[in-house]
Structure 1
């Protein structure tokens, strides 16, 4: 017999599972031990890799130190350097890692200890050599420390001695040899130095005899120190190494190279050992897995035989039972496990099914008194049969209840049909409808009396009015008014909820009958609601209590009645409105044509104005990039300055705004300043050269002051446009300094000449030549000064041509809403109109985020985020924008968010310019709120009229704003045209306009240039170049170009213009032409080049004079 037949299946599973678990634990233990061992090898291998990293770091720090120590002043003071510190720490880490590897058991297993000891020995020698080299370099020092510092100090002391020319020449030769050695490290210089040193005694003796000023012993002592220091420098350089392969440098190089192959050899040896260990571990694991698999298969086969065969026997026995056939014999399976128990339970089940079958047959015959006992309390089938018997008895009672519900449903449907007919018949007359409905409803639900209350149409004084009352078969004519919340009816109207009462106060209502008066037994008050709007209230009273289905019926009917009453009211209103709309339609047809014509005229005017504004904005942006702009009010206080001026002066705009012009330009002469200011107030433009001193920095500016005038001739403010002359002034000062140096040199040369005349008559001719050169040099210096003055005058003229204005901004600020934001949406400033509309002051809004002005839902929306992303990328956004005022009321602004860019094309900040459309939007929303689906025709006509009026108002406002802006812009444009070079080109480069300043500069007449291509102003080679083509494409794509341009005149001479090419866009953002604004810098550039050439010439002459002086000294 199979062993598994005498034990339970669970025990059999436990035996097999326990055996497998024990073997698996053994394998896992073996596997973990093996893996840990391999991990130790891998960790050891990774640590050897760190040796390579440390080695590379040591080489890197060594190289960095040798390359950079010359510039490290602290090293030559304290002998400390960050690369030496890093080298030391890395070397220490290297040593610690070596010791860790030596102590690791893997080193003993793999015989790697000797390799690591060898690497550590090389490292120690390498580290020692590096620190020795660093110390020698420290001892050698630099120009202010160490041996080199002592050498430099000795040389300075020698130079200070008063010596004869011969001695001085020898000393100069020695110093030159020292400098040559410092540069080339060639010992031949040192040998030559010693020869010169031996000769110095004779020269010093002569020097002492002639001058009688310097004690011989002091000079020799300093000279001896100079020689000692030079000798020490030569020796220490030999120790350090004059060449990369010599001295400590060569030794360091050899030791550094020796580390890498030893580390590589260690890695290769360890890799071989690790691979061998991994292979042994893999073979062991495979063998163990095979043995365990065989054992598991044998156990599983024996267990399967003890389970599968008995289960097949049970399956064959139960199969006929599944078809409803009871077996003739009982099931018999030997053994003492779960399967033999299943056999016994199956036999009991079949016996129970036979008894159940007999019971079901008796119930089917109608024998409900038969007794039946289930197999157990949990016998599902037996209990279900008993429950079925009870349900058959209950079903008869349920049938009777269903018939009652059908009767109620039929009663309700008939009632709704009846009242729908009444409502249809009385449609259009509220009183008749109310009377019929309430009278029929009282009868239909067997009530005693009822009333209908309907809300009046007066929104300001809204109350319920009794439109119908009925009692005991008679209509009652009563007038009654109830306000919402007043009494039970008013409360129902206010709360919109049904009230049903059976306990009614005696004072509330009495019902009169033939038998006398009595308080009703029940009261029902139902609100009439349609689309969540209450139309009225139905009140019913009865001696009897009302049933639930009657209350439900009244509630359903109340909704239908409310809808009919609402439609009746709408129809009555519609009849009146249709009559009005017919009259309005005729009037609107007449007005529509007039408004369409006005609209077309205004739209054309708007497009013309927008185009002009776009052109002017591009011109202003170009000039703003190239000039220094300041705005001053009529009291002489600075209103604003542009970015170019603050960048030049290196200050913030807030540091200068609010100051008086007199303080800013350091005006000391009150009378002169008052005269200058009075000219401006009288409308005259004034040109000045100004010297400004800010934060101990000097700036020279050439500035044009011009009053900005509106269309009425009133001066709005003063505009200052300037250019920087600081570089020219500095160059002038440098030339003066050089002139002074030249004069000193000339004086020295003159003294040398005088001394030479006394000793040698032959040098007289040479002296005359030097005097002639001196006169030439003086003449050259005087010419340079004269040219400097002419250059300053020319720069003043250039500054006048750089004038620009921002008057159009003031015009916009007085008539439009203006706000300024940074790129994160933080509010920088707002104007007065913005403050009035939103209710915030500028102080409250400043530095706050833009989302304070909108609701939170919009601030979190994707459209809001995308709008700011567009603005940051430089894209303008236009439309009607909704804001929230301080009182959280909606404010609508129609306008444009504009990205303001700097001269590099980077977005700097955001401007919002627009006008208030809140009243228009609110009126539109109020009108829309009153419209319904029945007013579509009227709505279309009204909407057309409103839109036309709105557009007309907007265009009128914009026309007024544009006229004001154009008047101010015209003043500015005239100022620009009179002082700057201005030319306009179409997108193909053809000349559309050119001002007189530019034509005079080029030598052409306007007639010669208009219609010609831009290429006539430049060289043919540049006109065909890719750079020129790319620049023109950038202009058409909307990019500004600002720099100094070279043009050819009619005579093919080069002129230089500093200016900006700016694309002019139409209202749709398309580039329609290109404008050039700038000023002539030809004279400035030529003068600068001449001065540089003159400076070079003077330097050469000075060198010639020095050579001549040397020759004179040698002849002595």
Structure 2
């Protein structure tokens, strides 16, 4: 649940922070007060929050919000099963059984007290009779016997008084097998039963759910009630253990994938190692779909021996890997085909007992497949965990592939921009050279026009001088 909250709070998506704080407040109010109204308020608030996100078409946050709600409601159901108050759930059952134990102890105490009182009354009558009959002939003997009997009665009374006060007295000393002796034996047996029941209940209270009840008293009503309570607590602990195991594995993967910028092949090795170690498998391989070559490419392996199969490519329509991706469902093989795969160690190699093939599916898109082999049969919670982690891995691969595509497009765009910039610079230089040529031509043209004007002026001057000379010559003639 913490990881689901963290994914929402660290998301780059925009969302209503006040609504998120309201959800967190309802969550904390529930765990502080154990009141189901806070669960209802939580679900109402999260529904409103989800409607708002739906209007924004924010599918990613809606998915994360749904995970958060699911995990919170699962925790609430576990809390309800354990008991929100001392009268509910397994806690209420435990207290009810303890109340029954107290009532049984009180009843037994009352019965023992009545038996003891009856025995005491009988002993007194016996004592008086003996005293009357033998008073004259055995006064000393009667007094001695009376004192001994009174001592026994006081011893029994003291024992019962201590037990009634809630403390365990020491066992009574049995010196004879007559009625008083039999009474002491019965009281000692009762004390032993109560001590064993109390010790067993204390062990359960301290978490020793594998403790065994003394077989001598296994048929007691109290023993049956306590053993039944032990079974219920063991079932609750098993469920909580599975939840803790799943949360621990999820936390490991979140930490592994958080802000990771490694190459997908190197990261794949770490993913497979973490996954195989957590579910106690033996071998694994990670396949991703190569869109360019239209094939499955094995990018990472675990325990395949010198990674000799890494980089292997497979057709998108052949084999169990392709079948898993096509059906978009997990394939669990319990009967392994001969020579399908071998698990190798220093002592040799052997065929695994079962194989798990899980598609990497994110937003209904398949990005690859994980194949895991093991000598031990996979449990339901292990398969569910692998499927959950496959979704997380698929989301990571999808994001990384999108990032790589974006980087590639940015690189291409940058290269095109640089090429256009170079062409623009060349065009600018050509324009400047053309402008310089045009200016030079204009300058040469201006100089030529000036020379022509000067020549025309000189020609006009020469013409005028020639005309003047002709006029002078004509005048002289």
Q: TM-score range by the shorter chain?
A: 0.3 to 0.5
More strand by share: 1
TM-score (norm. length: structure 1): 0.18
Q: Bigger radius of gyration, 1 or 2?
A: 1
TM-score (norm. length: structure 2): 0.40
